[in-house]
Amino acid sequence: MKKAELVFIPSPTIGHLVSIVEFAKRLIDRDNRFSITILLIKFKSSTRPNLDSYTNSLAASQPLIRLIELPQLNPPKSPELAKTPANYITLYIESFKPHIKHVLGNLIWSTHSHPNSPRLVGLVLDFFCISMIDVGNELGLPSYLFLTSGAAFLGLMLYIPTRHDRVSTEFSESDPEFLIPGFINPVPPRVLPSAVFNKDGGYAAYLKLAKRFRDTKGIIVNTLLELESHAISSFCDDQTPPIYTVGPVIDAKGEAQNKLGSPGSNSKNNNIMKWLDDQDPSSVVFLCFGSMGTFGAPQLREIAQALERSGHGFLWSIRLPPTTTPQGKAGNPEEEMLPDGFIERTRGKGMVCGWAPQAEVLAHKAIGGFVSHCGWNSIMESLWNGVPLVTWPMYGEQQLNAFTMVRELGVAVEMRLDYRGGGFGGDGGDLVMADEIERAVRCVMVSDSEVREKVKEIGEKCKKALVEGGSSFNMIRRLMEDM
C-alpha cells in the first residue's frame, strides 16, 4: 500500500484535542504507513495557558504527526452568541473554511508534485468541525466524524433531525419522556444538553450539526461495543454511515494532562502520588470536575462537610472560578474558600489540591470511587481503571452521559443527573447539600456493591477490546482498510 495521509480537524478545546490526538497516535501505532496532519484552531485567548507546551511536546515526540496552526481569527461579535456557546463555537469554526481549503489544496498539490509523498485519503472531523465536509467535498476528499462522546450522544444527534421534521421546535424541559433510538429507557428532557432548549441559536446549531452526521463516510465513536452494544446495533440502517467503535481512546499514562498542568504541577503531582501510596487499597474517593468545572464558596463548603462526615479518605481537586482572587495563601488559594479548620481536621485522612493528574490518580490502587462531572474522557478513564463513578454533571452532554451511566448501564452511583452549572464555568448551579453528597460518597465506596462489580467487569472488557482480536482492535483495522 502506498503511504496514506489523513487530516484531522479538532475543536479548540482541551478535551477534544487530547482525545483526537490519542486516536491519531493509535492509528500510527497500528500502521506506520499512515501519517497524520492536525490543523489547530485556537481561540485568541488560548483555552489553557500550557496548550502550546502540549502541542510542542507532541510535535517533538511524534514524527508521523504534523501540526499546522491556523491563523487566529476574530470570533463572532454578537453579544447574543455569548449566551449560546454551541452556536458561538460552530460559527467561529465555520469562519476557518477558506483557510482550511487553502491548506488542504497545498497538501494535495504537494502530493501531486512529489510522487513519493503520502496520498491524502480523507478528513477526520471533530463534532463542531463537521461543516468542513463542504471543503472535503469540493476537493474530492471523504470526511469521517470522530465523536469524542459515546454512542448515547450519537443516538440523540441522529434523532434530532427526525424529531425536527415532525415537531420543528426546540425541546422543552416540560416535554414528556420520550424514546430515542439507542436507549433502552425513556429519556427525560431534563438530561438533554442545554443547547437543545436554547431559542437564541443553540438548538439551531445542534440541528445544523446533526443534519451533517449522515453526510459523512463513517462515524468513529470513542466507545466499545461491549459497553454500548444496544445503542450501536440500533443504528444499523441504510441511512446511517458505518459506525466504528474504537474506544476507549484515552491518555492512559496521563502524558497530556501533565503537559497541561499549571506551573510547578509536576512537584505537586509527586506529592499527590506519594500521599496515595500511603493509603489503603480502594480507601480514597477522588473528586475532580474537569478543566471548566468550578464551584463557588457555598458549594465548596457543602462538599467539605460531606467529606468530613463520610469518614472516607479523599483526594479533592478544586478548580477555582477565573474571577476568584483569594488573598494570603498564594500556594494553595483553594484552601481559603473551605470551612475554618477543615484542612487541619482532615489532615492525613484527606488531601486538597488544585490541578490533579487525573489519569494517574484513577489508575492508583488507593482510589475506590470517583465523583465526576461526567465528561466522556473522564468516564472512559474511570471505566478503564475499574473505578465506579458518582454523577455530578455540569454542562455540554454531561447530563446525558450521567443518565447513560446510571440508568442505561448501571456503572455509576446517581447523585444528580440534571445538575447544571452556570454556563461553561460550571458555577452558579443549584446548591447540592452536604447530606446528598455524603450519601453518594458512602454508596460509591461500598466494597462489594453491584455497581463496583459491573465497573470491574467493564474495565477488563475495555482492555480486551484493544488487544489483537478485540472488538475495538478489529474495528480500527476495518476503518483503516475502508480509508
Instruction: Give the model's confidence band at 424: pLDDT under 50 very low, under 70 low, under 90 confident, else very high.
Output: very low
Instruction: Give the model's confidence band at 426: pLDDT under 50 very low, under 70 low, under 90 confident, else very high.
Output: very low
How far CA 227 is from CA of 16, 233, 408, 452, in Å, comes to 21, 12, 10, 15
Instruction: Tell whether the model's pLDDT for residue 228 goes beyond 70.
Output: yes
- Confidence at residue 322, expressed as pLDDT on a 0 to 100 scale: 63
pLDDT digits (tens, 9 = 90+) for 73-86: 988 876 766 678 89
pLDDT digits (tens, 9 = 90+) for 22-35: 999 999 999 989 99
Instruction: Give the model's confidence band at 381: pLDDT under 50 very low, under 70 low, under 90 confident, else very high.
Output: very high
Question: Residue 201, SS3?
Answer: coil
- Confidence at residue 30, expressed as pLDDT on a 0 to 100 scale: 94
Residues 6+ apart with CB under 8 A from 323: none
Average pLDDT over residues 464-472: 98
What is the spatial distance between Cα 377 and Cα 436, in angstroms, rounded to a whole number? 25
How many Cβ atoms from other residues are within 10 Å of residue 182's Cβ?
24
- Confidence at residue 292, expressed as pLDDT on a 0 to 100 scale: 81
Residue spans per domain, the chain: 4-251+465-482, 265-461
Directed axis angle between helix 202-211 and helix 151-167, to 10°? 110
What is the spatial distance between Cα 167 and Cα 159, in angstroms, rounded to a whole number? 12
Instruction: Give the model's confidence band at 117: pLDDT under 50 very low, under 70 low, under 90 confident, else very high.
Output: confident
- Confidence at residue 425, expressed as pLDDT on a 0 to 100 scale: 42
- Confidence at residue 332, expressed as pLDDT on a 0 to 100 scale: 66
* Burial (CB count within 10 angstroms: exposed 0-12, middle 13-18, buried 19+), residue 60: exposed
Q: With DSSP H G I counted as helix, E B as strand and the rest as coil, what are the percentages for the chain, rounded to 5?
A: 45, 15, 40
Average pLDDT of the chain is 91
- Confidence at residue 14, expressed as pLDDT on a 0 to 100 scale: 85
Average pLDDT over residues 228-246: 93
Q: Where are the alpha helices (DSSP H) in 319-418?
A: 342-345, 358-362, 376-384, 398-403
Angle at 427 between CA 425 and CA 431, to 5 degrees: 155
Instruction: Tell whether the model's pLDDT for residue 483 goes beyond 50.
Output: yes
What is the spatial distance between Cα 359 and Cα 193, in angstroms, rounded to a whole number? 26
Q: Give the residue from 10, 9, 11, 15 showing the smallest Cα distance to 379.
A: 15
Instruction: Give the model's confidence band at 48: pLDDT under 50 very low, under 70 low, under 90 confident, else very high.
Output: low
What is the spatial distance between Cα 302 and Cα 316, in angstroms, rounded to a whole number? 13
Angle at 306 between CA 447 and CA 389, to 5 degrees: 45
Instruction: Tell whether the model's pLDDT for residue 427 goes beyond 70.
Output: no
**CB 398 within 8 Å of CB 375:** yes
- Confidence at residue 214, expressed as pLDDT on a 0 to 100 scale: 96
Highest mean pLDDT among 64-78, 236-250, 371-385: 371-385
pLDDT digits (tens, 9 = 90+) for 256-311: 666 666 555 666 788 999 999 999 999 999 999 987 888 999 999 999 999 999 99
Instruction: Give the model's confidence band at 251: pLDDT under 50 very low, under 70 low, under 90 confident, else very high.
Output: confident
> Which CATH number fits the domain 4-251+465-482, given the four candidates 3.30.465.10, 3.40.50.1820, 3.40.50.2000, 3.40.50.620?
3.40.50.2000
Highest mean pLDDT among 66-80, 101-115, 286-300, 441-455: 441-455
In the sheet that 313-317 helps form, which strands lie side by side, from edge to edge? 350-353, 313-317, 284-288, 367-372, 389-391, 412-414
- Domain 265-461 in the same topology as domain 4-251+465-482: yes
> Which CATH number fits the domain 265-461, given the four candidates 3.40.50.620, 3.40.50.2000, 3.40.50.920, 1.20.950.20?
3.40.50.2000
Q: Beta partners for 366?
A: none
**CB 378 within 8 Å of CB 288:** yes
